[in-house]
């Protein structure tokens, strides 16, 4: 199945790197590099940019912030590099970080380079040539939850990440923070989400009592699957939003992406990953399975799922804002208003039907 391995493609216009400067930097900082350089770009993702960098036979991945105006606290390459360095010894799914620099003379921004984990990455649909029966789909979706729980169970103090976030008051800070970010990024064509934000304020469950390292974007297209056994997860990517916080909020963020088989056509239309396959756990099954693993009981599923939907809408709206105001030329962003409106409709429907 090795031909199913995720591959980089040509670089988008305006996002090119100076190959000569990158090669000179890498040879000066990573021992044993020899040969010519080839740079390509991984096509997915709306935030930090990810490039394939091959020097001779050595395959690496370079991460840099997006071009154009950025939020002050977003796209912190040094922070992302630090968590990978601390986690790799205790959480084997992390890529091995190799080098980080703040020297903008190389590519115009800070960046870091890590080893590539070759494998299958699931995007909207299964790649051609890969099939999963119902039992395999269930195993894979269970493994995703297991690997997420393993992250939350890491002893973050022993890992040297005790100062990596402020877990106290995390739930309220998230609801307040994402609400503020949505209002700041709202464009005239966007729904106002005020009823959803008010419901999240009113139904906040408080802290679950647990604290862990949370990924904040834990989903299939940030997971690398073993090409020889696609139900096995061998890597977790994209650590830019990782912090310390309430693990159930991390799970809720993941649920926001999970379009299941029984969802209406309007939700199926914005599905980003093959979570609808027969056999995949439903959102509620995932929530309950996580609770079994973590020894946590919660009847607040509706809150965490609604938060996940809202947070996803805010991320999309922030990206759309950049396109709307001409801060990026990436044409993919033009169509983000469709999922933003659908997420608002889904959250509103959930609130209407909720017993909370």
pLDDT in tens, 42-69: 876 557 899 999 999 999 999 999 886 5
Of 111, 64, 120, the residue nearest 235 (C-alpha): 120
Report the alpha-carbon angle 254-197-242, nearest 5: 35
- CATH code for position 242: 3.90.1200.10
Does residue 302 belong to any structural domain of this protein?
A: yes
Domain ranges, residue 199: 134-353
Cα torsion 229, 233, 235, 241: sign: positive
Q: Could you tell me if 265 and 162 lie in one domain? A: yes
Does residue 320 belong to any structural domain of this protein?
A: yes
pTM here is 0.91
Which token pair is 142? Answer: 């269970």
Does residue 121 belong to any structural domain of this protein?
A: no
| Residue 71: pLDDT over 50 | no
Rounded Cα distance between 36 and 27, Å, is 11
Q: Could you tell me if 66 and 211 lie in one domain? A: no
Which residues contact residue 234 at a Cβ distance below 8 angstroms, ignoring those fewer than 6 apart? 93, 117, 119, 224, 225, 226
- CATH code for position 84: 3.30.200.20
Cross-strand bridge partners of residue 245: 212
Does residue 123 belong to any structural domain of this protein?
A: no
Q: Which tens digits make up the pLDDT trace of 150-209?
A: 999 999 999 999 999 999 999 999 999 999 999 999 999 999 999 999 999 999 997 778
**Domain tally, the chain:** 2
Which token pair is 165? Answer: 């976030």
């Amino acid at each position: 199945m090795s031909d199913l391995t995720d591959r980089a493609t040509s670089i988008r216009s305006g996002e090119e790197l100076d190959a000569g400067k990158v090669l000179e930097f890498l040879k000066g900082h990573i021992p044993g590099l020899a040969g010519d350089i080839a740079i390509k770009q991984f096509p997915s993702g709306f935030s930090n940019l990810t490039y394939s960098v091959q020097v001779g036979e050595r395959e690496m991945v370079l991460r840099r912030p997006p071009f154009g105006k950025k939020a002050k606290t977003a796209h912190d390459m040094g922070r992302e590099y630090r968590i990978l360095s601390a986690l790799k010894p205790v959480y084997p799914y992390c890529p091995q970080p190799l080098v980080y620099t703040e020297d903008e003379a190389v590519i115009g921004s800070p960046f870091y380079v890590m080893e590539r984990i070759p494998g299958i990455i699931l995007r909207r649909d299964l790649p051609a040539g890969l099939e999963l029966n119902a039992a395999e789909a269930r195993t894979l979706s269970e493994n995703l939850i297991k690997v997420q729980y393993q992250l939350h169970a890491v002893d973050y103090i022993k890992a040297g990440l005790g100062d990596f976030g402020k877990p106290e008051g995390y739930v309220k800070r998230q609801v307040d923070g994402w609400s503020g970010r949505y209002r700041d990024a709202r464009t005239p064509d966007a729904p106002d989400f005020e009823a959803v934000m008010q419901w999240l304020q009113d139904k906040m469950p408080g802290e679950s009592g647990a604290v862990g390292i949370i990924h904040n974007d834990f989903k299939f297209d940030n997971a690398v699957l073993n090409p020889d056994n696609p139900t096995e997860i061998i890597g977790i990517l994209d650590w830019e939003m990782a912090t310390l916080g309430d693990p159930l909020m991390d799970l809720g963020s993941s649920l926001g992406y999970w379009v299941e088989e029984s969802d209406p056509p309007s939700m199926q239309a914005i599905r980003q990953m093959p979570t609808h396959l027969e056999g995949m756990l439903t959102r509620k099954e995932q929530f309950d399975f996580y609770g079994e693993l973590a020894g946590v009981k919660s009847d607040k599923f509706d809150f965490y799922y609604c938060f996940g939907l809202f947070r996803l809408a805010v991320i999309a709206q922030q990206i759309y804002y950049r396109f709307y105001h001409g801060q990026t030329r990436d044409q993919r962003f033009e169509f983000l208003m469709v999922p933003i409106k659908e997420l608002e409709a889904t959250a509103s429907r959930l609130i209407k039907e909720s017993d909370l």
